[in-house]
Structure 1
Amino acid sequence: MGNGAKANQKRERNAKQTKTGPTSQIKSNQKAMSIMCQVCRQTFLQTTKAPALTEHASNKHNKGLGDCFPGVTA
C-alpha cells in the first residue's frame, strides 16, 4: 500500500467522524432572548446584567430599571 492509499483511508475515516448538520448558534440565541423592555419591546439575552438594562432604560426612555424591566433587580 502506498502513501496515497493510506491518506485516502484516513480521509474516509475522518469524514465519518465529523459532525454533520448545522453548527450555528443563531436559533439557540433567539430562544434565549427572554428579557423584554415593556416600553419598546426590545428583547435582550437572558444573561444580560442589570447595568446594561439600566443603561437602556435611561438612555432610550429616561426611565428607571423597574419601569422598563419589572421583575429584574439591580
Structure 2
Amino acid sequence: MKRERNAKAGTEAKSQLKVNVASKTIQCKVCFQTFMCTSKIPELTQHADNKHSKTLQECFPGHGEKENDGKADNKTNVKANGKK
C-alpha cells in the first residue's frame, strides 16, 4: 500500500527550465542574445568586447549605470549612519 501511495504522489516531474527561461531579462541590443538577470557587468562587458568590439553601453544601454548607482548609494547610506 505504501508503494502505491508514493507512486501516486511522485508522478509529476519538476523542472527548472521554465524558471531559467523566464529569468533571462537582459538582452544585447546588437545580436539580441539574452542573459539571466543575475549576470554581472564583467560578463556583459566581455560579451560586448568579444562578440561585437563595442562598449557595454552600446550593447546594453543603461544597464551598467543602474548597478553602479546602487552600490554608491549603499556606501553613502552606511557612512551617513556611522556604521560599518
> Which TM-score band applies after superposition, normalised by the shorter structure?
0.7 to 0.9
Q: 1:22 to 1:15 in 2, by over 3 A?
A: closer
CA–CA distance in structure 2, aligned partners of residues 12 and 22 of structure 1: 17
- Deviation of 1:63 after TM superposition, in Å, equals 0.8
Equivalences, count? 65
The runs of 4+ residues in structure 1 deviating greater than 2 Å are: 12-18
Q: Which amino acid aligns with 2:4?
A: E
> How much identity, in percent, do the aligned residues show?
54
Report the Cα distance in structure 2 between the residues aligned to 1:22 and 1:30, rounded to whole angstroms.
18
2:21 to 8, 20, 30: 30
Aligned partner of residue 57 in structure 1, secondary structure: helix
CA offset at residue 14 of structure 1?
A: 2.7
* Matched residue type, 1:15: A
Partner of 1:12: 4
Shift of 1:27: 1.3
* Structure with more helix by fraction: 2
Unaligned stretches of 5+ in structure 2? 69-84
Aligned to 1:48: 39
Deviation, 1:62, is 0.6
- TM-score normalized by the length of structure 2: 0.66
Provide the TM-score with structure 1 as the length reference: 0.74
